[in-house]
Each structure stands twice: as structure tokens, then as C-alpha cells.
Amino acid sequence: MRQTCCEYPHAGPDLSPAGHSRPEWAYRPGVDSEPSDEVIVVGSGVAGLTTAVVLAESGRRVRVWAREPAERTTSAVAGGLWWPYRIEPEPLVGAWALASLTVYEELARRPQETGVRLVDGVHRGARLDGLGAWAGRVAGLRAVAEGLAARLPLIDMPVHLAWLRERLVEAGGVVEVREVPALAAVPAPVVVNCTGLGARSLVPDPAVRPVRGQLVVVENPGITTWFTSVEHASDASTYFMPQPGGLLLGGTAEDDDWSLRPDPATAAAIVARCAAVRPEIARARVLGHRVGLRPARDAVRLERQRLADGRVLVHNYGHGGAGITVAWGCARQAAELAFPAA
């Protein structure tokens, strides 16, 4: 894995253009009056890059601005399993998730390139009647003695983020590492806000809050299936995800915890819970630790806003623990909001 015990992801971008020249196509408020296909996407996590790809491949001129490169975002340390988790509102989440599932199933034909594989596993304790209507459209999802079994996309996020960036560049997009103090300072006729937890200060939106997740990466002792078991009354969960660089063990869901430093006691508890399911995990060598802050919100904010100077600002953030799961569905809707069909 590209993350090690000494590398910590940032909670989200804090963006500011000081010291950077304007792009040659930069929007000039009060001067440019005609509609433009120029857009700046703020944020380089999975939501930002996927949105940028959708926009660029529809013919828009796209730049991504972010304080950190994609490999330093929360997306890069995610377990990578497609599944709606800690995200609302459910009626919309289902459509976004299924749209993304269709894309991931196609990308799984090229796993080494895209980082996407279809992998079997079990959600222990889950029930079909406890899921939304979307579950009926997930091929192969079925009840078993332990809970629910399925073959789902499992995404190696460092590889996938690099692939998204390459796909964006091939479509004519540009990624810039830079900072901006306010969304209104971004010089483009259309701005898309995909800043995740960074939206708390950048918008500002106090409804966005962190949900801390900690993982342990170990040498894989031969496990080829994923496993999850979530205790909704606790901030602890049990899951493991076989990725090319090791077995990812989790996890936690600690509300309003901003710490990015791995806690040794938490790590030991994670290993113990996973080893209770698969005893061979107890003997696996630890390769590293990961911490990420999920950008939680009571509901995803996916909406169009008209700024005072007439420019368009589209918000696409607050995806909680399911940013990967809804990335393509939300990206397509964000693109439609940015450039509505005539």
C-alpha cells in the first residue's frame, strides 16, 4: 500500500489561489457574459476526480484545484468496498449507488488498470428487509446463514485514484495543487465544490462533521473474500478487505473525532475482532496503519447555487462513508446541474 504508519491523510482541502496566475481561460466577472464550458472542480478525492472526468468527457474544459494530491485525501485510505454505508437520503442514495455499480462492473474487466475487482464476501448480520429498494437490483445479493452474501466491487483506491487522474488528463483536464480561501474566489463561470470535510470551513457548512475511521494493513495470510459486521450501537465494526498490497482490517466510526493519528489500542482491538472471525489474521505481520475522516452530513448536498455575480456553484459533498459507492451517480447529477440541457 502507498500509505504507511507514518503517512496520514488530510481531512479535506483548504483551498486558496494566492501566488498562482489565472488560467488563460479564466472567467472575468462583469466582462464575460456568454455561457461558457469552462469549469473548475475544487477537491481531488474520488468525488472530485470522478466529477471532473464526467465533465471533461462531455466536452467541458476542466481544471481540478486541490490543496493536496489525490493520494493524500481520505479517499486514498478507504477500504474500497461498494456498499451504501452511513449516507443519506436513502431514496436518492440508491439511484446514485446503482449508477456507480454499473460503471464499476465494467471497470472490473480491467482490474490492474482501474483498481476495480469483483470479489465475493459476506455482510454478517445484515438482512434483505433492512435494505432499501436498491438492494433488489444488486445481482447475486442473497441471504445466507451469516447474513447477506454478494459479489461486489472492491476497489484498490490508490490505483483507482491514479487511474481517474490519468483518464481526466486524457480527456483534456488539468489537476493543480493550489489553495483558495473561498469558493467565490475561484475564477471560473462554473465551480463544482467537491471538498468533502473541507466544506465545513470553505462554504462554510457546520453540518459537515468528521467520522473517524482507523484501519490496520497486514500481510494477507491467504484470505480472498471480504467480510463486514457492523454494530450500529457501537463506534467499532469488524471488516477485512483483501487488496493487492495487503489485507485491510477495520474499523471504527468515531463521530466528531478529528484525530489523524493511529491509536495503538484501537489498532490492537481491530486485529483482535478480525482474528475472531479468521484466526490466521492474529499471526499476520502488520504493514501499516491508516486513518481517514469521513465527511458526514445528515444528507448529501448535491445542488446548484447561483452566485451574486451570476456564476454557477454546484455543491457535491457530504457523502459520509459511501463516497466511492455513489461517486459516478453523484458526478453525473453534478454535471447535469452545472450544465443543464437546453
Mean pLDDT lowest for which of 50-54, 68-72, 136-140, 240-244?
136-140
Reply yes or no on whether the pLDDT at 242 is more than 50: yes
Residue 233: pLDDT band by 50, 70, 90 thresholds?
low
* Residue 11 phi, psi (nearest 5): -65, -25
Reply yes or no on whether the pLDDT at 9 is more than 80: no
Q: Could you tell me the three cell numbers for 57?
A: 468527457
Mean pLDDT lowest for which of 12-16, 27-31, 48-52, 287-291?
12-16
Q: Is 223 annotated as a binding residue?
A: no
Question: Per-residue pLDDT averaged across 277-296, rounded?
Answer: 98
Nearest residue to 202 via CA among 184, 214, 189? 184
CA distance 195 to 77: 16
CA distance 55 to 287: 38
**pTM, whole model, 2 decimals?**
0.90
121-134-194 Cα angle (round to 5) = 90
Long-range contacts of 201-204 (CB under 8 A, 24+ apart): 201/14, 202/13, 202/14, 202/15, 202/42, 203/315
Strand, coil or helix: 257: coil
Q: Is 73 annotated as a binding residue?
A: no
Strand, coil or helix: 314: strand
Domains of the chain: 38-338 (3.40.50.720)
Q: Is 211 annotated as a binding residue?
A: no
Q: Is 147 annotated as a binding residue?
A: no
Q: Is 48 annotated as a binding residue?
A: no
CB half-sphere exposure, 227, CA atoms < 13 A: 17
Reply yes or no on whether the pLDDT at 243 is more than 60: yes
Question: Per-residue pLDDT averaged across 236-242, rounded?
Answer: 97
**Per-residue confidence (pLDDT) for residue 232, from 0 to 100:** 67
Q: Is 195 annotated as a binding residue?
A: yes
**Per-residue confidence (pLDDT) for residue 2, from 0 to 100:** 33
Average pLDDT value over all residues in the chain: 90
Place of cell 494566492: 18
Q: Is 180 annotated as a binding residue?
A: yes
CB half-sphere exposure, 207, CA atoms < 13 A: 10
Reply yes or no on whether the pLDDT at 21 is more than 50: no
Q: Is 324 annotated as a binding residue?
A: yes
Reply yes or no on whether the pLDDT at 292 is more than 90: yes
pLDDT tens digits along 312-339: 999 999 999 999 999 999 999 999 999 9
pLDDT tens digits along 157-172: 999 999 999 999 999 9
pLDDT tens digits along 28-87: 444 343 348 999 999 999 999 999 999 999 999 999 999 999 999 999 999 999 999 989
CA distance 342 to 148: 44
**Per-residue confidence (pLDDT) for residue 273, from 0 to 100:** 98
Mean pLDDT lowest for which of 45-49, 131-135, 252-256, 265-269?
131-135
Q: Is 269 annotated as a binding residue?
A: no
Give burial (CB, 10 Å; 0-12/13-18/19+) of 89: exposed
**Per-residue confidence (pLDDT) for residue 341, from 0 to 100:** 86
Sheet bearing 38-42, strands edge to edge: 174-177, 61-66, 38-42, 190-193, 312-317, 301-306
**Per-residue confidence (pLDDT) for residue 181, from 0 to 100:** 84
Buried b (16+ CB within 10 A) or exposed e, 68-81: bebbbbbbbbbbbb
Reply yes or no on whether the pLDDT at 139 is more than 90: no
Are residues 337 and 192 in contact, defined by beta-carbon separation less than 8 angstroms?
no
Got the DSSP string for 68-114? S-GGGSGGGGS--B----S-S-HHHHHHHHHHHHHHHHHHTTSHHHH
Q: Is 320 annotated as a binding residue?
A: yes
CA distance 76 to 156: 9
H/E stretch holding 159? helix 157-170
What percentage of the chain has pLDDT greater than the value 70?
Answer: 89
